[in-house]
Structure 1
Amino acid sequence: MANTVDNISKEDWILNTFPEWGTYLNEEIEETEVKDGTVSMWWLGCTGIWLKSAAGTNILCDLWCGTGKRSHGNGQMKKGHQMMRMSGVQKMQPNLRTQPFVIDPFEIKKVDALVVTHIHSDHLDINTAAAVHQNCPTAKFIGPKEVVATWLKWGIPEEKTIIVKPGDEVQVKDIKIVALEAFDRTALVTCEDPAVSLKGKLPQDMDQIAVNYLFETSGGNIYHAGDSHYSNMFAKHGNEHTIDVCLGAYGENPRGITDKVTSVDMLRMAESLNAKVVIPVHYDIWANFMADPKEITELWQFKKDRLKYQFKPFIWQVGGKFTYPTDKDDLEFNFYRGFDDAFSIENDTPFPSFL
């Protein structure tokens, strides 16, 4: 039956439109052959990363396939929300999702491990967990204790899960995953029960709710800081591990809120970790935390000679690929623009000077 305006439904529109990229990126990742001595990764939005090694090992980290606000509701924040606890706010947080879905989770076919940094729902996602569980029967689910507890509640079999705390190492084929301390103070004031008061009490045990990760590969080592704030401990991690690329949760914090790493502290993090490349993530996703990553580049240009920086910033785009060390000297990503086969066949215009 031919399509007409009378037989198109909302369900048709949704299924024909979302995810906006369809399987384009799924296909690209599957078809990519990573060269020896390199490691490739793709930014999936927020802090979601897909890593692929030269041996074909696939690690999925923090892929989030949900949405932010979809209604004004009653205009009030949920009682006990971490932002309310942090700063005594009451008005609803206008955290609209600003990025399209660049990957179809239910078309993921080859994942060796799903790795999650911490308990927040824009990192720990039931849709991703379901897709990996259903499509990748041998995949491991790796995270701190409370992340694993959530997976178990969702129905992930316990034998698929691995609980990690700082200092633990997990070998996934040719990639070693090292769990390290996290510095996410927002996670420490996250408590789902609005009746519970945190005032005057000892904080939660960070090691049970959040970790940072170092992915050690034959092509280079990738440090994923989750939603960590800046910490002096980054220097300890930099002393104890070789870190080639570091990823940090960058954003423009609204008034009275400290939730994301600023441009200055992105540079401090890279310097402390002794990284060679620093990549900001997370600034893309929330309407109320959006920031311009070029600010990081400008500050780096301003400081690099005086402070003798040994690293470079890389400004990515969601859905884009970064290969280390191939791209280590690039400062920005741009998608393939196409049309490199211009005039490979005769063009067809009314006369030669038409365009």
Structure 2
Amino acid sequence: MSENIHDITKEKWVNSVFPEWGTWLNEEIESEDVKKDTVSMWWLGCTGIWIKSHESTNILCDLWCGSGKRTHGTGMMKKGHQMMRMSGVQKMQPNLRTQPFVLDPFEIKNVDALVVTHIHSDHLDINTAAAVNKNCPDAKFIGPKEVVETWLGWGIPKEKTIVVKPGNKVKVKDIEVVALEAFDRTALVTWDNPEETLRGKVPQDMDLIAVNYLFCTSGGNIYHAGDSHYCNKFAEHGNQYKVDVCLGAYGENPRGITDKVTSVDMLRMAEALNTNVVIPVHYDIWSNFMADPKEITEIWKMKKDRLKYDFKPYIWQVGGKFTYPTNKDDMEFNFYRGFDDAFSVENDTPFPSFL
């Protein structure tokens, strides 16, 4: 029977369309056979990534399944909003979510660990936590102290959680997760800690609320910088550890805001870390921070010979896969376009001879 407009409701529309990719990417990740001496990862939007090793260990990091602004409301920020506290601006931040949901969190399977970099809600997500807790009963929940406290408040069992601070190492099957110092000034000045807020103090202990991670796999090491700004101490991390791929929170900062890493500092971070590949993320998600990653590529072209850059920038697409070292010399991702078997069967459309 054909559909009728009188049967269509908002609920039916939401259920039939959302998430926009359905389980396409879930199925791709689950079926992926990661080759020996490689490691694969998928970009899930913002700084969310899924890492899968040759040994079939699956780590989910910073998946955010929420939304930005959904109404103009009063046109003003709520009192205490983090951007208000950071800049003094009172007008609403126009941070609309610009990316579709490429993963269905409630169809997640086989996750061995959910790892979160810091306390901000576009990285620490209750929907992701609920889905992983339900679907992957043996998964560990790894994060700094305040991240774990949030999980516990949401109902994640304490025995599933692991608190980390810089220097800690956690073994998740064959992947070693190394917690390192974060350099997220925004997290410091926007930390929602009632006791500290009442005292009018800005917390000084970054380690409680944010860490960076190095994921050490048999196919290569992936450095996730969370929302860190540029810091000279990246060089110390690059001296202490082998970094094959690094990801940084790139974006076009609005007037009066320094929240995302600029194109120049993305390259400085890569150089300091002695990495082979640098990948910008986060610029995709917020309408008021969107940036063109090709700015990084063009500046790299200008400087690569003079500064002897031995790394390459890589422009990813949300929902796309990157495999190291298979893709280390590529500059840009493109989705598979299909039609490899075009005209393998007789087509129905007649073509004029002049075409």
* TM-score in terms of structure 2 length: 0.97
Query: How many angstroms does 1:191 deviate by?
Result: 3.4
CA distance 1:199–1:77, change in 2 (3 Å): farther
- Alignment of structure 1 residues 334-349 onto 2, 5 Å: 334-349=334-349
CA distance 1:198–1:220, change in 2 (3 Å): farther
Query: How many angstroms does 1:345 deviate by?
Result: 1.2
Contact 1:144 1:164 in 2 (8 A): yes
3-state SS of 1:51 partner: strand
Q: 2:267, 2:112 → 1: CA distance?
A: 32
Q: 2:262, 2:225 → 1: CA distance?
A: 14
Equivalent pairs, count:
355
Partner of 1:103: 103
Query: How many angstroms does 1:5 deviate by?
Result: 0.6
Partner of 1:26: 26
Q: 2:191, 2:166 → 1: CA distance?
A: 22
Letter in 2 for 1:272: A
Query: How many angstroms does 1:17 deviate by?
Result: 0.2
Query: How many angstroms does 1:346 deviate by?
Result: 1.7
Contact 1:223 1:243 in 2 (8 A): yes
In the alignment, is residue 222 of structure 1 matched against residue 222 of structure 2? Answer: yes
Partner of 1:307: 307
Q: 1:279, 1:326 → 2: CA distance?
A: 15
Contact 2:177 2:214 in 1 (8 A): yes
Query: How many angstroms does 1:2 deviate by?
Result: 4.1
Contact 1:99 1:284 in 2 (8 A): yes
Partner of 2:263: 263
3-state SS of 2:5 partner: coil
3-state SS of 2:98 partner: coil
Q: Deviations over 1:248-269 (max 9, x none)?
A: 0000000000000000000000
Partner of 2:277: 277
Letter in 1 for 2:69: K
In the alignment, is residue 148 of structure 1 matched against residue 148 of structure 2? Answer: yes
Query: How many angstroms does 1:350 deviate by?
Result: 3.0
Contact 1:189 1:198 in 2 (8 A): no
Partner of 1:297: 297
Contact 1:216 1:222 in 2 (8 A): yes
Contact 1:79 1:194 in 2 (8 A): no
Partner of 1:130: 130
Partner of 2:117: 117
Query: How many angstroms does 1:353 deviate by?
Result: 3.2
Letter in 2 for 1:94: P
Contact 1:80 1:193 in 2 (8 A): no
In the alignment, is residue 44 of structure 1 matched against residue 49 of structure 2? Answer: no
CA distance 1:128–1:301, change in 2 (3 Å): same
Q: 1:140, 1:162 → 2: CA distance?
A: 7
Q: 2:103, 2:274 → 1: CA distance?
A: 32
Partner of 2:248: 248
Q: 1:298, 1:151 → 2: CA distance?
A: 41
Question: Structure 2 unaligned runs (5+)?
Answer: none
Letter in 2 for 1:277: V
What is the aligned-residue identity percentage?
A: 81
3-state SS of 1:307 partner: coil
Contact 1:229 1:259 in 2 (8 A): yes
* TM-score in terms of structure 1 length: 0.97
3-state SS of 1:243 partner: coil
Q: 2:198, 2:354 → 1: CA distance?
A: 71
Q: Deviations over 1:52-103 (max 9, x none)?
A: 0000000000000000000011111121222112111110100000000000
Of stretches 325-334 and 85-94 in structure 1, the one that deviates more from structure 2 is 85-94
Partner of 1:82: 82
3-state SS of 2:99 partner: coil
CA distance 1:193–1:36, change in 2 (3 Å): closer
Contact 1:80 1:194 in 2 (8 A): no
Contact 2:188 2:203 in 1 (8 A): yes
Q: 1:78, 1:238 → 2: CA distance?
A: 40
Of stretches 85-94 and 220-229 in structure 1, the one that deviates more from structure 2 is 85-94
